[in-house]
């Protein structure tokens, strides 16, 4: 075990690698238990969040205890076939999430200003 930890300490991972995986193209009827079965083979999992709204169906976040387990799962499960659907497994990138929120916030502010000043969209 000590040798394994020593190897991990000497490994340099790419900057995008983190403990949180974003999974797309999941079957809509997949359960959290099935997700634990699939992703738990690669290490300890802290949390799994499966999307349940119309916008998030077919997606999930998987949070591993260890960054090396997350990397191993991403390497092995990207393209894995589940119920005739090939999983897309990516590292979660908070900067992209914030950019998306910023765009949505700007759209909402623009709509409020249009309403306030009586400007229609087609102008």
User: Secondary structure of the chain in the HEC alphabet?
Assistant: CHHHHHHHHHCCCCCCCCCEEEEECCCCCCCHHHHHHHHHHHCCEEEEEECCCCCCCCCEEEEECCHHHHHHHHHHHCCCEECCEECEEEECCHHHHHHHHHHHHHHHHHHHHHHHHCCCCCC
Location of structure tokens 């359960």: 31
Contact 79, 87 (CB under 8 A): yes
Distance CA 55, CA 41 (A): 28
How would you class 27 by CB atoms within 10 Å of its CB: exposed for 0-12, middle for 13-18, buried for 19 or more? middle
Among left, alpha and beta (phi > 0; psi -120 to 50; other), residue 83 is left
Domains of the chain: 18-115 (3.30.70.330)
Mean per-residue pLDDT of the chain: 84
Quickly state the pLDDT bin for 115 (edges 50, 70, 90): confident
How does pLDDT run across 38-89, given as a tens digit for each residue?
Answer: 999 999 999 999 999 988 999 999 999 999 999 999 999 999 999 999 999 9
pTM score above 0.75: no
- Based on its alpha-carbon atoms, the radius of gyration of the chain, rounded to whole angstroms, reads 19
């Amino acid at each position: 075990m000590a040798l394994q930890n020593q190897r991990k300490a000497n490994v340099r991972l790419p900057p995008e690698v983190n403990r949180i995986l974003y999974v797309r193209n999941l079957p809509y009827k997949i359960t959290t238990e099935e997700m634990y079965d699939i992703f738990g083979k690669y290490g300890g999992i802290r949390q799994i969040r499966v999307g349940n709204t119309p916008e998030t169906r077919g997606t999930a976040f998987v949070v591993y205890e260890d960054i090396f387990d997350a990397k191993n799962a991403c390497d092995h499960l990207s393209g894995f076939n589940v119920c005739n659907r090939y999983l897309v497994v990516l590292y979660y990138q908070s900067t992209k999430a914030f950019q998306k929120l910023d765009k949505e916030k700007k759209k909402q502010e623009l709509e409020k200003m249009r309403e306030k000043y009586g400007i229609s969209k087609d102008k």
